[in-house]
Chains A and B, each alone.
Chain A
Amino acid sequence: MNSPVLEIKHGAVAYDRPVLRDVNLTVRSGEVVAVLGANGSGKSTMIRAGLGLVPLAEGQVELFGVPLRRFRDWRRIGYVPQRLGAGGGVPATVGEVVSSGRLARRGFPGLLRAGDRQAVAKALAAVDLTDRVHDPVAALSGGQQQRTLIARALAGEPDLLVLDEPTAGVDAKSQEAFAQALRDFVRHGGTVLLVAHELGPLQPVITRAVVVHDGVIAHDGAVPHPAGHHAEPGHDHVHPHAPQDPPSIWGRQ
């Protein structure tokens, strides 16, 4: 069996109330794991805890077999957050944002080397944004911004790609471009851990699904098939922002 790339053992996270309870997750090299679950189920918290962005109240995290505390090889990880950071009032071009994906690979920041430039160009091409490199990210659509973030992660040439809801609110063209970029990444031996609300065009790429429900892992294995309205083609997945989501992951019975 392939070596573990990301491992959470008995992980627990609590803010004011417990968000995750005794979670065990192992992602092995070459896998494409989708973490599914309703809003507020704790799925985003789980992968953020796996990267050390959220402190664990209990349990441990290992990245590439090294405990998180001692892990230094961050160049092996590409992280794609849910959205572009607050990023303030100062404009930044797509090229500048994607170039910061090289930081984990460069020591002291100097000028970009030829290898850096090449990786940035390749990453932009992979998400089909080459012609927008000099545009300010604020002028892009939501889907294009998301692709910019994916390009930033790809530019670092990571072994593991961790994506937090990469397809949320993303137009169909961007979803397709993203699925293609992901297929290429996997074909070259990459491992993927992604959080998703719905899989859409990603479905065929996923090798395993983990369903988080109410802070615990409710399912770990084959990709569950959408039920009810979710199965209809062209289903528009909209959740009312009610305080309580329906209990079942795939909607009402």
Chain B
Amino acid sequence: MYKALVACRAGMGSSVLLKVKVDQVIKENNLDIFTEHGNLDSLIGFNGDLLITMEDLANELSDKVDYVIGIKNIIDKEEIERKLEDFLKFKNEKDK
């Protein structure tokens, strides 16, 4: 089970909206990921596998965690699913 942090710059708000959608996608597709949400301070000491944030924030955060997903459209489940599947593929390749 992989651990993901869903975070945006200002704690409560977009990160919660994003987490609601990501959790739906995870549940519908039975993905081996669980999420927690927070703000950028939560990144300090975060020992999980994945950061999920909005695309405009993804670049500045890409060096903080092993893998960062940036979402463009918070209601686009296909985009979220595709990016989560890419992450799982990346992990599978790495663990081979």
- Same complex origin of A and B: no
Q: Residues of B at under 8 Å CB distance from A?
A: none
Q: Residues of A at under 8 Å CB distance from B?
A: none
